[in-house]
A and B are shown apart, each in its own frame.
Chain A
Amino acid sequence: QWDEPRVCSRRYLKVDFADIGWNEWIISPKSFDAYYCAGACEFPMPKIVRPSNHATIQSIVRAVGIVPGIPEPCCVPDKMNSLGVLFLDENRNVVLKVYPNMSVETCACR
């Protein structure tokens, strides 16, 4: 993680359902690449962090110091992907559910 860029970007995270205790009822997948977002959204923000208009204004206000206590915008998931999960319900019947927003495709400053 040490050589990760400072700026807001997607970081690698593999989630293993055994680590969160769900593997007893989750048949598949046993793990998946979830990723996460981290990094700075400080003024001036590069285009790559795809700031919203509000985030741009907020970071300028913060940089100028007009209003004290304004934090910099947050680095959050922008585009996300679904994940199909095959699991056993309470009656041990097999269920397939497609959950949205389970893994990060891109990050942005908001």
Chain B
Amino acid sequence: GHRGPSWPSLPSAADGLQRDKDPQQSPGDAAAALGQGAQDMVAVHMLRLYEKYNRRGARPGGGNTVRSFRARLEMVDQKPVYFFNLTSMQDSEMILTATFHFYSEPPRWPRAREVFCKPRAKNASCRLLTPGPPAHLHLIFRSLSQNTATQGLLRGAMALAPPPRGLWQAKDISSIIKASRRDGELLLSAQLDSGEKDPGIPRPSPHMPYILVYANDLAISEPNSVAVTLQRYDPFPAGDLEPRAAPNNSADPRVRRAAQVSGPLQDNELPGLDERPAPALHAQHYHKHEFWSSPFRALKPRTGRKDRKKKDQDTFTTSSQVLNFDEKTMQKARRR
């Protein structure tokens, strides 16, 4: 067990987060940065681990990560049940140990009328008897999968020796947490059953129980691991793999091209390409450069690859500029 915070009493909850004056913060500043949250013991515990690491470089629990989980208190069948949501644990975090921390309230002094007296004794000595510590304390853990009732699957039950009052207790629950995580059930409930008739209804207070999980994050040495857990906004919303084009650019950088079709096609010629040379008799294979460099080149019948290659060289250098026309066209030309 351990008492409350071991350093000077925590500063009153600072409203808002104060900016640090120097890089090495004193616990007070860090606690003030926690604001209201600094009052509960889990925050105090985490601050203490942080200070210990900063002062001595002591790896908390031998790993590089400590996650704390606050309890949410609910009454189930008139009994207080504490719920823990462990879903924020990362898959890359290998659990080393886990501990459950709870506080046993100091005895409440009975009120005057509850003074216990020995019945019918001569000198009834009305001594103030305080109720002793509970005979035993049972600690019961259950894991809840999404669709079970509040009961869930029993994960562990411990009978604890009656804890001294007014102290914090810590119990190792590593096997329970590891088993729950293995089964993918990261919603846990814990019940502290002291066997007292009316244990009274606990109120949420700084003394709420909490869980600490010490882990080794195997991904922490990956480049940019700090962004995985600390960068909360994403400059590029999910699913948009490429950086969005600047708003003033058109949505799609490519220019849309389409031929303006002016009414039904009379012929199969492309509009706007009327300077094409007269259609050759044997519209056969021709090279692009032949077509565009001199549209009036004689089209040669297709030859074998080898001599075509040779021929291409020839035609490219010494081809004549004369075209072959049909007889009728030649007659017309002669007459003209």
Determine the distance from Cα of A47 to Cα of B88 in the docked complex, in whole angstroms: 48
Determine the distance from Cα of A92 to Cα of B47 in the docked complex, in whole angstroms: 15
B67 within 8 A of A: yes
Q: How large is the interface on B (under 10, 10 to 19, 20 to 34, 35 or more residues)?
A: 35 or more
Whether B50 lies near A86 (C-beta < 8 A) is yes
Determine the distance from Cα of A48 to Cα of B18 in the docked complex, in whole angstroms: 41
Smallest Cβ-Cβ distance to B49: which chain A residue: A96
Whether A96 lies near B233 (C-beta < 8 A) is no
Determine the distance from Cα of A85 to Cα of B68 in the docked complex, in whole angstroms: 14
Whether A24 lies near B30 (C-beta < 8 A) is no
A94 within 8 A of B: yes
Interface string of B222-251 (1 = CB under 8 A from A): 000110011111000000000000000000
Determine the distance from Cα of A95 to Cα of B18 in the docked complex, in whole angstroms: 19
Whether B47 lies near A25 (C-beta < 8 A) is no
Whether A27 lies near B23 (C-beta < 8 A) is no
Residues of chain A within 8 A of B85, CB atoms compared: 91
Instruction: Knowing A18-B19, A99-B226, A100-B221, say if A93 contacts B54 (CB, 8 Å).
Output: no
Residues of chain A within 8 A of B220, CB atoms compared: 97-100
Whether A84 lies near B53 (C-beta < 8 A) is yes
Whether B23 lies near A33 (C-beta < 8 A) is yes
User: Which residue of B42, B69, B217, B230 contacts A25 across the interface (Cβ within 8 Å)?
Assistant: B230
B150 within 8 A of A: no
Whether B67 lies near A95 (C-beta < 8 A) is yes
Smallest Cβ-Cβ distance to B233: which chain A residue: A21
Smallest Cβ-Cβ distance to B68: which chain A residue: A94
Whether B65 lies near A98 (C-beta < 8 A) is yes
Determine the distance from Cα of A26 to Cα of B64 in the docked complex, in whole angstroms: 17
Interface string of B30-68 (1 = CB under 8 A from A): 100110010000110011011001100001100011111
- Minimum CB–CB distance from A20 to chain B (whole Å) comes to 9
Whether B88 lies near A93 (C-beta < 8 A) is yes
Determine the distance from Cα of A91 to Cα of B83 in the docked complex, in whole angstroms: 13
- Minimum CB–CB distance from B62 to chain A (whole Å) comes to 11
Residues of chain A within 8 A of B60, CB atoms compared: 96, 98
Determine the distance from Cα of A96 to Cα of B68 in the docked complex, in whole angstroms: 9
Instruction: Knowing A14-B23, A23-B17, A98-B59, say if A93 contacts B66 (CB, 8 Å).
Output: no
Whether B42 lies near A97 (C-beta < 8 A) is no
B105 within 8 A of A: no
Most-contacted residue by chain B among A27, A90, A94 (CB, 10 A):
A94
Determine the distance from Cα of A75 to Cα of B312 in the docked complex, in whole angstroms: 56
Residues of chain B within 8 A of A23, CB atoms compared: 17, 19
Whether A96 lies near B23 (C-beta < 8 A) is no
Smallest Cβ-Cβ distance to B35: which chain A residue: A27
Chain B interface, DSSP helix/strand/loop, else mixed: mixed
- Minimum CB–CB distance from A69 to chain B (whole Å) comes to 28
Smallest Cβ-Cβ distance to B230: which chain A residue: A22
User: Which residue of A32, A87, A93 contacts B70 across the interface (Cβ within 8 Å)?
Assistant: A93
- Minimum CB–CB distance from A81 to chain B (whole Å) comes to 10
- Minimum CB–CB distance from B179 to chain A (whole Å) comes to 21
Smallest Cβ-Cβ distance to B46: which chain A residue: A94
Whether A93 lies near B24 (C-beta < 8 A) is no
Determine the distance from Cα of A30 to Cα of B8 in the docked complex, in whole angstroms: 22
A89 within 8 A of B: yes
Residues of chain B within 8 A of A102, CB atoms compared: 226
Smallest Cβ-Cβ distance to A96: which chain B residue: B66
A52 within 8 A of B: no
Determine the distance from Cα of A84 to Cα of B43 in the docked complex, in whole angstroms: 16
Whether A86 lies near B230 (C-beta < 8 A) is no
Determine the distance from Cα of A7 to Cα of B20 in the docked complex, in whole angstroms: 33
Give 11 A-B contacts (CB < 8 Å), ordered by A residue.
Answer: A23-B17, A28-B29, A30-B29, A85-B230, A87-B229, A91-B87, A93-B88, A94-B46, A95-B66, A95-B229, A99-B220
Nearest 7 interchain pairs by C-beta? A30-B20, A28-B30, A94-B46, A98-B64, A84-B53, A96-B66, A86-B50
Q: Which residues of B contact A (CB under 8 A)?
A: 17-20, 23-25, 29-30, 33-34, 37, 42-43, 46-47, 49-50, 53-54, 59-60, 64-70, 85, 87-88, 217, 220-221, 225-226, 229-233
Q: Which residues of A contact B (CB under 8 A)?
A: 14, 16, 18, 21-33, 84-87, 89-102
